Chain A
């Protein structure tokens, strides 16, 4: 297993009387090499704490956190692990190049290795020409991409990402998904948290829902898809009564532009396509919905 957590508990002490508060309770999960797991849950559920535990930044109160069979708290385990945080925490007075040289240096890379790796990643993340800029002068999206460059600088086999798409425009979100999918397809392991469902659906092999520091549900994408998949259909028609007669029992809403929005079950797709071939309706889009995830999340 690339990432393995066994009976992990984590608590903090807060307030004047230092009362203990459990942040993570009895967490058990594993992410096999070459797969990806998405963490979802409401704010304050313990996603970031789980990420910090996996990145070896904090040590569990009890239980084990292992990266490739070595305790995450030991520095050797982090040789092939990269971390991207939600906000890029970067020293204001350093340039992009200086920041990456520092991180390459503490990762044990030589100057030449840092140079080669940086130039390859600058090309991949389209950051050429920004290496001598102070990091605080970059835009949010550029800063987030610098975050990816630092995480991948030492050619990691495990990437741990906390809300990685935060602040990204749609084009770069799509590009990053491609980069991360290719990383996973080349044997890399991904553990990430996100609030964006499309990213989770696109990137995850498995999903874990956390709430109040406990696992609420975990399973594979297949298990979610098997459960009650639905589609959102947007279409135009001049004869809505025929449509409602043929596709019975579906939710229907008229849109301001005169088109219709309908939620249909998977088996009703065939009927819809039949009606379309008879020119009774014009399909604008069909989008799959995963009510299972939404229910687990809420």
Chain B
């Protein structure tokens, strides 16, 4: 067990260093900062409810950055290693393939955490400087957003082991939007009288992770009271999706033939 731990730690560490030194990492942070500044300008242009505009825009920016960074950092994680053939040297070591997948995933998750913390700090600073109330509910909402990033990251990992970069981008973006709209699929399925369509809609609703189940922005936006049982359910659902996606990635990668 100790050996696996050291192997995963070594891989994660190298992945973090590699991504930190990539200029795109800094570009990501600068772009995020500029978008937050733009959101303040947008708030000032709005008629009334300035706080609501910057809160809404802030959550939207962090949410979209979750999609963009899970896509960007995972594009190079597995396919990049295969393309550069660095994977040959790594896999010729006494390392199991699941260790490679887990090491890469945890390394990139750490990078995503850094991006997330930087963006959240920027967001909170903007709110503080504009005299907005910073409550515990805001922290809950932000934490749920990071959990959504983790779900996206695990699906991005899954896509990175078997698709091309283009398909990876298309699939992950579709998964993000369908995941946020999947409640509508369920609602439509419940109301339709066409049995065939109902089955298809329910299959789609089940197949895609329901990202709205992890959306707790309304706690801050509408000052709602948190339902801890619902939060716990969301946590379990999200964890289930993450574990399923990682397990599927390992199964596919174990069978992958690196020609």
Task: Spell out A's residues near B (CB within 8 Å).
Answer: 12, 52, 55-59, 75-79, 81-83, 85, 87, 89-91, 93-94, 98-99, 101-108, 110, 150, 154, 160
Residue of A55, A75, A105 most packed against chain B (CB within 10 A): A105
Chain B residues whose CB sits within 8 angstroms of the CB of A58 once the complex forms: 257-259
Contact A59 to B257, CB < 8 A, known contacts A89-B84, A98-B17, A102-B13? yes
Which A residues touch B89, using CB under 8 A? 83, 85, 89-90, 103, 150
Given the interface pairs A12-B259, A90-B86, A93-B22, the reply to whether A102 lies near B14 with Cβ below 8 Å is yes
Give chain A nearest CB distance to B107 CB in angstroms. Answer: 11
Task: Report chain B residues within 8 Å CB of A102.
Answer: 10-11, 13-14
5 contacts across the A-B interface (CB closer than 8 A): A58-B258, A99-B14, A102-B10, A103-B93, A160-B92
Max chain B Cβ within 10 angstroms of own Cβ: one of A82, A103, A150, A154: A103
What 1/0 mask marks residues of chain B from 79 to 121 whose CB sits below 8 Å from any chain A CB?
Answer: 0000011111111111110010000000000000000000000
B residues contacting A by CB (< 8 A) are 3, 6-7, 9-11, 13-14, 17-18, 21-22, 84-96, 99, 257-259
Q: How far is the CA of A94 from the CA of B9 in the complex (A)?
A: 16
- Cβ–Cβ contact A108 & B258, under 8 A: no
Give chain A residues whose Cβ lies under 8 Å from the Cβ of B14.
Answer: 91, 94, 98-99, 101-102
Known: A75-B94, A105-B11, A106-B95. 8 other contacts (CB 8 A): A59-B257, A79-B94, A90-B89, A93-B22, A102-B10, A102-B11, A103-B90, A108-B3
The one of A76, A85, A101 in contact with B85, judged by C-beta atoms closer than 8 angstroms, is A85
Contact indicator A78/B93 (Cβ below 8 Å) = yes
Q: How far is it, in angstroms, between the C-alpha of A99 and the C-alpha of B96 when the chains are bound?
A: 19
A105 touches B91 (CB 8 A): no
The listed residue (B21, B85, B93) touching A106 by CB distance below 8 A is B93
Partner of B9 from the list A83, A105, A107 (CB cut-off 8 Å) is A105
> Residue A105 contacts which of B6, B96, B257 (CB distance < 8 angstroms)?
B6
List of A residues within 8 angstroms of B88 by Cβ: 52, 55, 57, 83, 85, 89
Check B17 against A94 for contact (C-beta < 8 Å). yes
A59, A78, A81, A93 — most chain B CB neighbours (10 Å): A93
Docked pose: A55 CA to B84 CA in angstroms: 18
Query: B41 to nearest A CB, angstroms?
Result: 35
Q: Is the CB of A76 within 8 A of B258?
A: no
Q: How far is the CA of A170 from the CA of B107 in the complex (A)?
A: 41
In the assembled complex, the Cα of A99 lies from the Cα of B22 at a distance in Å of 16
Residue of B7, B86, B93 near A91 (CB, 8 A) is B86
Q: Closest residue of chain A to B90, judged by CB?
A: A106
Residue of B3, B9, B84, B89 ringed by the most chain A CB atoms within 10 A: B89
Whether the Cβ atoms of B84 and A91 lie closer than 8 Å is yes
Q: Do A89 and B86 contact each other (CB < 8 Å), given the known contacts A59-B257, A102-B10, A108-B94?
A: yes
Across the interface, do A56 and B7 meet the contact criterion of CB distance under 8 Å? Answer: no
